[in-house]
Amino acid sequence: MNIVAARVIVCSPGRNFVTLKIETSDGLTGVGDATLNGRELAVAAYLDEHVVPLLIGRDPARIEDTWQYLYKGAYWRRGPVTMTAIAAVDTALWDIKGKVAGLPVYQLLGGRSRSGVSVYGHANGATIDELLSSVASFVSRGYTAVRVQAAIPDISEIYGVSTATVYEPASAALPTEAVWSTPHYLAHLPAVFERVRAEFGPTLRLLHDAHHRLTPIEAARLGKALEPYALTWLEDPVPAELQDGYRLIRQHTTTPLAVGEVFNSIWDCERLIRSQLIDYVRATVVHAGGITHLRRIFDLAALHQVRTGSHGATDLSPVCMSAALHLDLAIPNFGLQEYMPHAPETDEVFPHGYRYADGYLHPSEEPGLGVDIDEALAAKYPYRPASLPVNRLTDGTLHDW
Ligand code: GCO
Ligand code: MG
């Protein structure tokens, strides 16, 4: 069996997605997500120009060899564009291997380690009362873990707080600009968690995403201030490339730390994991080199008592979510999976078999990943330029978003 075709499909059913579909001489197909939010066309061009020609004629069964060929063969290593492109190929090949075997991919990864994949939802609110009712609505739908993002007085727009039914920060063609103030944020957030904890009791798992905006000492102060509210994790407290920052934060607080949504290889987190500077690694299939490479990261993490908490925002397509769920089900050190439901038009373009029930996602039992792309429908949603926003401090200095 050979690969006879590979198509890169760019579409925008509610938001932009890039998808790779590989076809074999036996008439099987496999899909891989290649979406890199705000930089979609760079990955599409990388695949079209540099990867697809290498795939034609290859044996789709050779997943590891293809991964090594694309990684080592490029000479230039790592980087989000390259690793997202490799991830798309890798994911599509696992999908095909599952279809050949007649098994869901999690069976090829060693089988079930748990009965379902525990997920967290995103609660937010313009006021604390709105936030409390948002948390309550997740609890009423069976969620046992909720990420809490609060509006901050005197900051007009803030990451993670929105009234839209489907959260989408990359909405304008060119980046919008928001204003950020760390002092206002640090002064307000502990009181928010005090209210949430008091209202929902000690066992609801609470999380918070600082979205790379703090310095290590600011993050240490926040972690300490939040200790009474026993967070499951504080996410991305400092910019992800600043690894020594985690050591400093760790010296000051027992609030667990999670990082990794912008990581694209094991080399981004090898030190963080080996030194046990983090508690959860949040890399995911699409941005970290596919199932093959992410499994390697998660196995390293397992050796060091670091659990997983894969990124699962709406800019990762249902193809990535399907792949993530198969891996989540199989690995020994699974922690939590982020879950934000997609827009209805996204779900229609990507028919999938995973389902949510009582706080858990369950992957499809179909052979392969159990997800596809409806290409005719996708063609009705052409690409629209969309960028993520930027942040400036109150004096105009550019800051992490
Ligand atoms: C999260 C993330 C996202 C990112 C988005 C960028 O924890 O879900 O921080 O909301 O901002 O995926 O494309
Ligand atoms: Mg995040």
Ligand found nearest the CA of 401: 1
Residue 196 covered by a domain: yes
Residue 238 structure tokens = 């400092």
Q: What is the pLDDT of residue 277?
A: 98
Alpha carbon distance 366, 348 (integer Å): 18
Catalytic residues: 159, 211
Q: What is the DSSP letter of 48?
A: I
Considering only CA atoms, which residue is closest to atom 2 of ligand 1? 313
Q: Which of 76, 103, 130 is the last residue of a domain?
A: 103
Which residues span the domain enclosing 123?
Answer: 108-366
Q: What is the pLDDT of residue 182?
A: 96
346 and 254 within one domain? yes
359 and 317 within one domain? yes
Q: What is the pLDDT of residue 32?
A: 99
Q: What is the DSSP letter of 352?
A: B
Q: What is the pLDDT of residue 161?
A: 84
Q: For 264-285, give one letter per residue: b (16+ CB within 10 A) or e.
A: bbbebbeebbeeebbbbbbbbb
Place of tokens 């709406």: 314
Considering only CA atoms, which residue is closest to atom 5 of ligand 1? 313
Q: What is the pLDDT of residue 164?
A: 75
223 and 136 within one domain? yes
Residue 23 structure tokens = 């076809």
263 and 240 within one domain? yes
Q: What is the pLDDT of residue 155?
A: 81
pLDDT one-digit tens code per residue, 43-85: 999 999 999 999 999 999 999 999 999 999 999 999 999 999 9
Considering only CA atoms, which residue is closest to atom 13 of ligand 1? 37
Number of structural domains found in the chain? 2
Q: What is the pLDDT of residue 230?
A: 98
What CATH number did the domain enclosing 98 receive? 3.30.390.10
Q: Which portions of the chain are predicted below pLDDT 50?
A: none
Q: Is the pTM of this model over 0.85?
A: yes
Q: What is the pLDDT of residue 160?
A: 78
Residue 396 covered by a domain: no
Place of tokens 């206002």: 184
266 and 209 within one domain? yes
Nearest partner of 23 among 2, 38, 9, 47, judged by Cα = 2
Decide: 40 in ligand 1 pocket, CB within 6 A: no
Ligand found nearest the CA of 287: 1
Q: What is the pLDDT of residue 169?
A: 86
What CATH number did the domain enclosing 146 receive? 3.20.20.120
112 and 89 within one domain? no
Q: Which of 55, 73, 103 is the last residue of a domain?
A: 103
Residue 277 covered by a domain: yes
169 Cα to the center of ligand 1, angstroms: 9
Contact 175, 389 (CB under 8 A): yes
